[in-house]
């Protein structure tokens, strides 16, 4: 399970508040996962645990799925605050 320490931070990195950055964020995460899988070649158990966690997060629409934005998920209140978005 040593290889999970490199995969779990991917699930914990928050999605940016600015919707214009969602595509860049998803591309970065996708390329990180692809390069990790090709270079480090994690064990089957670690890969299955990570994919199961990713599937559960994306299926439940908790808002932290980097693959797509759920239609029912609303933006946090801070996303509409010009002091935060403008920075």
8 domain-assigned: no
Match 């999970």 to its residue by tokens: 4
47 domain-assigned: yes
Q: Which domain covers residue 42, as residue numbers? A: 28-60
33 domain-assigned: yes
Return the sign of the alpha-carbon dihedral for residues 59, 69, 10, 62: negative
Is the confidence at residue 74, as pLDDT, over 60? no
State the total domains in the chain. 1
Alpha-carbon dihedral 10, 84, 81, 70, rounded to 10 degrees: -20
41 domain-assigned: yes
Q: How confident is the model at residue 4 (pLDDT cuts 50, 70, 90)?
A: confident
83 domain-assigned: no
78 domain-assigned: no
79 domain-assigned: no
Show the tokens assigned to 36: 């990790």
pLDDT value at position 80?
A: 56
Contact (Cβ atoms closer than 8 angstroms) between residue 19 and residue 26 = no
Q: What is the pTM of this model?
A: 0.66
């Amino acid at each position: 399970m040593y290889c999970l320490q490199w995969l779990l931070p991917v699930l914990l990195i928050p999605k940016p508040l600015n919707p214009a950055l969602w595509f860049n964020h998803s591309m970065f995460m996708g390329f990180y996962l692809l390069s990790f899988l090709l270079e480090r070649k994690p064990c089957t158990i670690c890969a299955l645990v990570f994919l199961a966690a990713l599937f559960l997060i994306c299926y439940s629409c908790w808002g932290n799925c980097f693959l797509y934005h759920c239609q029912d998920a609303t933006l946090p209140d801070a996303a509409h605050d010009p002091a935060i978005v403008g920075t």
